[in-house]
Each structure stands twice: as structure tokens, then as C-alpha cells.
């Protein structure tokens, strides 16, 4: 592995994002993941929140991984709405839950300590976006591209339950649905993330993934339903 390949990956992601034009993926599979995360930090900056990705063992095996990946949500990507689809390259919607921490999770924390640190969960909308055409990429490429981060909307009110369906509708029409029971317990993943990023302070918000598949983005009145709550977001063309 040469520094040239790392620089080329960085420049490719930066150019695709700046030019608002996706590029072909599966070209930088030999770039170490540690370098890909350094590219992510360099291009996307300090996080206002974090997001977890590739959470299922099946997806990890498909990407040649044995653990999840993470991305950062910089302050400009933490949104309330309305949201314009023209801002993105190839946006997709994914309904999620996010954890809000009431206490620190230090490096080396146990899952039990991480569980105790969670204040509550809220509904979230993850607007995925990718520099890689048709979302075809290797692990290093998606990590360098901030785990396909586009924008995030977080609800204010805690969910009442971690069970039941998590549903996404647009103008009242169902788009995606999954069972919240299909989400793995968040605590082990939060403890893992804390170890990766140097700890998670109280107040941190972490998107925990989704039991529902992502769907192509369209304009309209978008709603995330689950846990006894509804998150509504106006989506403009």
C-alpha cells in the first residue's frame, strides 16, 4: 500500500462530493481501514453526532468485515427540515433509532456501563448519500465517504417503547417497515464505538441503524413512525 493510493481515495471522495457527481467504486479495496477513517475525519470534520453502519453479520461478511463501521454527522448535516433533495447526489431514506447519552461512555466501558449511560432513544431519519455510483463500494471507500452520510433528522421526544414496527411513509403511503425487535441491543455497539473514537461524552447522539431497508428519496411529507412516536419532515425537490 502506498501513500499515493490513500491520497487518490481522498481526492476521489472530495471531488465527487464537490462536483455533485458520483464516481465508480470498488477501486480502492487495498487501502487500510485506518487510513479510510483518517480520510473521513479530514474531509467531514468534527461530529455533532455519530452513526453506525453495516450492523448485520451478513452485511459485514459481504464487505469482508468482522465488525460494524461508523460515520460522523457534522453540524451542517444535523437538520430539522425542510430538506431539499437537490442538495444531495443520490439520496436514500432510512428510518432509524438514535441513542442519547446521559453519561459518558469511556474507552474500555463494558456493555453494561454503556447501557447505563443511555438516557433515552429517539426516532431518526438517516438521509443516505454516496460519492460512489449506485452505492457500489468496498469497505474502505464507504468509510472514507463517511459511511454514506448525507443528513440526519432527530426527534425531540423519547420513544415510549423499543418494540413494535418502525415504519416510513411518504404522503401517507408506506415506503419501508421493519420490526424494532430485529435491532440488536445498542449497548455493545455503543461500547465498541466509544473504543473506536476515544470515548463518547454525555449528550452524544448515536444513530443505531434500522430494521427497515433504505429506499430512494422522493419529495413529500415524510414520516417516521415507531415506539409510540412520529417524526415528520418536509422533503422538497
For the sheet with 229-236, list strands across it: 83-84, 229-236, 220-226, 165-170, 173-179
The CA-CA-CA angle for residues 97, 98, 101, to 5°, reads 145
Question: Taking residues 44-59, what's their average pLDDT?
Answer: 95
Max Cα distance, the chain (Å): 51
Task: Say how far apart CA 27 and CA 65 lie, in whole Å.
Answer: 17
> Does residue 1 have a pLDDT over 80?
no
108 — pLDDT class (breaks 50, 70, 90): very high
- Domain 3-236 grouped into CATH 3.50.50.60: no
Domain ranges of the chain: 3-236
81 — pLDDT class (breaks 50, 70, 90): confident
2 — pLDDT class (breaks 50, 70, 90): confident
pTM equals 0.96
Task: Say how far apart CA 70 and CA 68 lie, in whole Å.
Answer: 7
Task: Say how far apart CA 1 and CA 24 lie, in whole Å.
Answer: 20
Q: Is 16 left (phi over 0), alpha (psi -120 to 50) or beta?
A: alpha
The CA-CA-CA angle for residues 65, 207, 162, to 5°, reads 105
Task: Say how far apart CA 161 and CA 164 lie, in whole Å.
Answer: 8
Amino acid at each position: 500500500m502506498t501513500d499515493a493510493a490513500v491520497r487518490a481515495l481522498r481526492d476521489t471522495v472530495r471531488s465527487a462530493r464537490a462536483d455533485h457527481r458520483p464516481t465508480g467504486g470498488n477501486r480502492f479495496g487495498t487501502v487500510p481501514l485506518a487510513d479510510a477513517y483518517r480520510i473521513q475525519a479530514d474531509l467531514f470534520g468534527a461530529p455533532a453526532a455519530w452513526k453506525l453502519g453495516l450492523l448485520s453479520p451478513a452485511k459485514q461478511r459481504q464487505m469482508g468485515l468482522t465488525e460494524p463501521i461508523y460515520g460522523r454527522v457534522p453540524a451542517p448535516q444535523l437538520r430539522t427540515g425542510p430538506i431539499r433533495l437537490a442538495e444531495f447526489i443520490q439520496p436514500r431514506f432510512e428510518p432509524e433509532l438514535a441513542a442519547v447519552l446521559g453519561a459518558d461512555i469511556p474507552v474500555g466501558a463494558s456493555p453494561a456501563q454503556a447501557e447505563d449511560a443511555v438516557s433515552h432513544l429517539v426516532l431518526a431519519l438517516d438521509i443516505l448519500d454516496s460519492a460512489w455510483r449506485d452505492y457500489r463500494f468496498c469497505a474502505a471507500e464507504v468509510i472514507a465517504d463517511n459511511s454514506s452520510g448525507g443528513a440526519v433528522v432527530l426527534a425531540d421526544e423519547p420513544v415510549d417503547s423499543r418494540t413494535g414496527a418502525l415504519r416510513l411513509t411518504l404522503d401517507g403511503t408506506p415506503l419501508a417497515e421493519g420490526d424494532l425487535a430485529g435491532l440488536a441491543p445498542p449497548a455493545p455497539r455503543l461500547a465498541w464505538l466509544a473504543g473506536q473514537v476515544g470515548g463518547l461524552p454525555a449528550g452524544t447522539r448515536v444513530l443505531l441503524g434500522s430494521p427497515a431497508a433504505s429506499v430512494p428519496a422522493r419529495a413529500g411529507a415524510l414520516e417516521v413512525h415507531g415506539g409510540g412516536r412520529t417524526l415528520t419532515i418536509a422533503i422538497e425537490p
